[in-house]
Amino acid sequence: MLFIVADDLGYHDLSCMGSTYYETPNIDQIAGEGMVFTDGYAACQVCSPSRASLISGKFPARHGITDWIGAATGKTWSDAGYNTKLMPPEYNHRLSNEYITLPEALKEAGYKTFFAGKWHVGDKGSWPEDHGFDINIGGWDVGSPKGGFYAPWKNPNLPSGPDGESLTMRLAQETADFIEAHKDTSFLAYLSFYAVHAPIQTTHEKWSKYRDKAEEQGIADSGFEMEARLPIRNVQDNPIYAGLIETMDDAVGLVLNTLKELGLDENTIVIFTADNGGVASGDNFSTSNLPLRGGKGYQYEGGIREPYFIKVPGLTDGGLTCHSPVSAVDLYPTILDLAKVNLRPEEHSDGVSLLPLLKGETIPDRPLIWHYPHYGNQGGDPVSIIRLGHWKLIHYYETGLEELYNLKTDLGEQNDLAVQHPFQVKELHEQLFNYLHSVNAKFPEKDPNYNENKAKESKKYREETLLPNLEKQRLNFLSKDFNPDNDWWGSAVTND
């Protein structure tokens, strides 16, 4: 088993998913030889909840990690001056050690388990090795690559390489070395990239390639527009981000080539997905998810719909496509099923095996649930969401209002149908909150310190100052004279 998880990768950030700007031939190969789930979802619009769900098979409302670990809540949030109408509720800061995770289940079945890269599902005592991974390379408390993507980086579980070494390629090489060392046994190699999370960094060579490509394709007059709270990117033309994506793709190629060279490519299942939508707003405003609305941190499809590929030699040969809605929580039971290991429905309680879909069969419709009672750093609202069939309901905690979208006819979520379909709203609302109450979900409360005038001032700043500054930065990245202050983050010494 090779399980690859990208960080902050958007639904359209791969050439096989429609991008005409980014180039990802190695990841495209997985899609071309596997099943592409067009309606594949992360379990949350931010990272920690999604990553906990991937290995637990539980929606965030059930395991209790509902925001990225480190985000403020309650009075701490209010006192920090965020000035929002609500105070986000408390959440669990580590995955419970009482759960039997995916790697633990496979380990019991005789698999050697390996983890490399981003963890962010708890501090020491709740690191990968505490949840079933025999080997942990680089997984610890934080979610960003401390020190950046080029050595020297700062990671207690991955000594820094020579100056300029790529962290992304190093993680891939560690994974390849593990595979070679364990080629004669069953293994789970879980490669969890820090890419393409901020800070976005690349080499001069890759920047130059994509700067020229943006110019050839025609640089748009503007690259941003306003969403409800923040500006949001509406074009893919960031050459730094494109280079970061290509380096991740190079790293995937290194691991895939290792499988091929060892003769393991015909008996290794490969899974590729990401933890939340591409960062179109907030952080580094890196990419556009259009025609999907929103991005990381948002309640819209751009925040939760992901590249989601499963390659099973002998079963998905030639490439297949599936339009059934599926979630990150389904991968735990699916992997057990593919490994012919007994399922653990008491553990992966929100996930179902996708093996029937991989065989060309069907699975019953079931609701997919998202619970994010927090404010996304990227502009998203405190919400809960349910999708059933082609209907998607969003419940907003600030107002109590609900939006209803038909994703079959309105993938961009532009036409709220709640007024036209009150019965559908009522049915979905009841299913959503019956589930949330059954797992003792936590909800936000009003912030007594909220100030309407300050909110108007912040909105004015974002529209009149932040938006034009982002446009200037975008053009600077695309300028022939662009050169970051710190010598291309030290990467110029690498042989790229």
What domains are defined for the chain? 2-365+450-493 (3.40.720.10)
Q: Where are the beta strands (DSSP E) in 389-459?
A: 391-396, 402-406, 445-446
Given this model, what pLDDT does residue 261 score? 98
Mark the ranges of the chain whose per-residue pLDDT is less than 50: 493-496
> What pLDDT, in 10s, does the model give residues 400-452?
999 999 999 999 999 999 999 999 999 999 999 999 999 999 999 999 999 99
Determine the straight-line distance between the first and last CA of the chain, rounded to whole angstroms. 29
Given this model, what pLDDT does residue 398 score? 98
* CA pair distance 244, 66, nearest whole angstrom: 28
Given this model, what pLDDT does residue 487 score? 76
Given this model, what pLDDT does residue 492 score? 57
Q: Supply the angle between the helices 25-33 and 239-261 in degrees, to the nearest 10.
A: 50
* CA pair distance 360, 424, nearest whole angstrom: 30
Given this model, what pLDDT does residue 490 score? 80
* CA pair distance 398, 272, nearest whole angstrom: 35
Mean per-residue pLDDT over the chain, rounded: 96
Exposed, middle or buried by CB within 10 Å (0-12, 13-18, 19+), for 386?
buried
Q: Where are the beta strands (DSSP E) in 227-340?
A: 231-233, 270-274, 309-311, 320-322, 326-327
* CA pair distance 251, 116, nearest whole angstrom: 13
* CA pair distance 276, 371, nearest whole angstrom: 14
Positive or negative CA dihedral for 379, 385, 388, 391? negative
Given this model, what pLDDT does residue 496 score? 36
Q: Where are the beta strands (DSSP E) in 343-431?
A: 368-372, 383-388, 391-396, 402-406
